[in-house]
Amino acid sequence: MFIEMNVWKVVVVYYIPARDENEASELRRKLEFSFPKDGDDGFNIFSNFSKESFDGRWYLNMVMVKVMADDFPENNLQKVFLANMIMTHTVGILRNAERDALPLSYEEFSRSGNME
């Protein structure tokens, strides 16, 4: 998971290991209810499948972007709401992954014998 925040925008990226585009598509389908519909609760949602420079492995990237209101830096309620939304989406992903036995790291793939 990666979170980037500046004064008026937050980007949250969840990296989920996937061996190929077919597996990434299946993961998207299985995780669709962990994420709001694009635009609901103010987050724009998109995904991509890419080889990441931080470890050279392939991941399904689920990306959430939210542009904050102009008064966000002074508004503590908006800050609490944002933190709660990130926590809620993260818990949803973790619950779905546990329910569907989805590995969330390459180490989990290795332990399960599903990946080299």
Of the ranges 8-12, 13-17, 38-42, which one carries the lowest mean pLDDT score? 38-42
Burial of 51 (0-12, 13-18, 19+ CB in 10 A): exposed
51: helix, strand or coil: strand
**pLDDT band, very low/low/confident/very high, at 115 (cuts 50, 70, 90):** very low
Instruction: Look over the chain and give the mean of its residue pLDDT values, rounded to a whole number.
Output: 87
Query: What is the DSSP pairing of strand 58-67 with strand 9-17?
Result: antiparallel
Per-residue pLDDT tens over the stretch 43-65: 888 899 999 999 999 999 999 99
Domains of the chain: 2-111 (3.30.300)
Is the pLDDT score of 94 beyond 80? yes
